[in-house]
Amino acid sequence: MILSMYVSNPVPVLDKATHKSQSLKIFATHGIGGLVGSILTGVFAQASVNSLSGTTTPIRGGGIDGNWLQLVWQLAASFAAMFWAFIWTASAFPVVKCDTI
């Protein structure tokens, strides 16, 4: 969570570079912070922590447990979610008559 804060905090600088204003800095907070958190889940997920939830379904963990394939899955899911959000946001522009991305 701390790393996500340090990564997403400088992102509002893009507002000045692109001359676009984001009210509440939603992209910096949820977009970048969520992306970093999702990717780091692939690194830090641990099989030993899963057993604390009371579930009997075993997991192989993430990179720390030697399962670096989980990081690949997390990256794929993160980029799929970004693509999905972009498509639906862009498709809403004609409805609200917005001409800029």
Residue-wise pLDDT tens digits, 66-75: 999 999 999 9
Element (H, E) at 89: helix 69-96
Sign of CA pseudo-dihedral 18, 95, 8, 31 = negative
Give kind and range of the element (H or E) at residue 78.
Answer: helix 69-96
In angstroms, rounded to a whole number, what is the distance separating the alpha carbons of residues 84 and 69?
23
Report residue 21 CA to chain centroid gap: 21
Rounded to 5 degrees, φ, ψ at 85 are -65, -40
Sequence ranges of the domains in the chain: 2-96
DSSP 8-state class, residue 29: I
> What length is written for the chain?
101
pLDDT in tens, 13-50: 766 776 666 666 777 778 888 899 999 999 999 888 88
Residue 1 has pLDDT above 80, yes or no: no
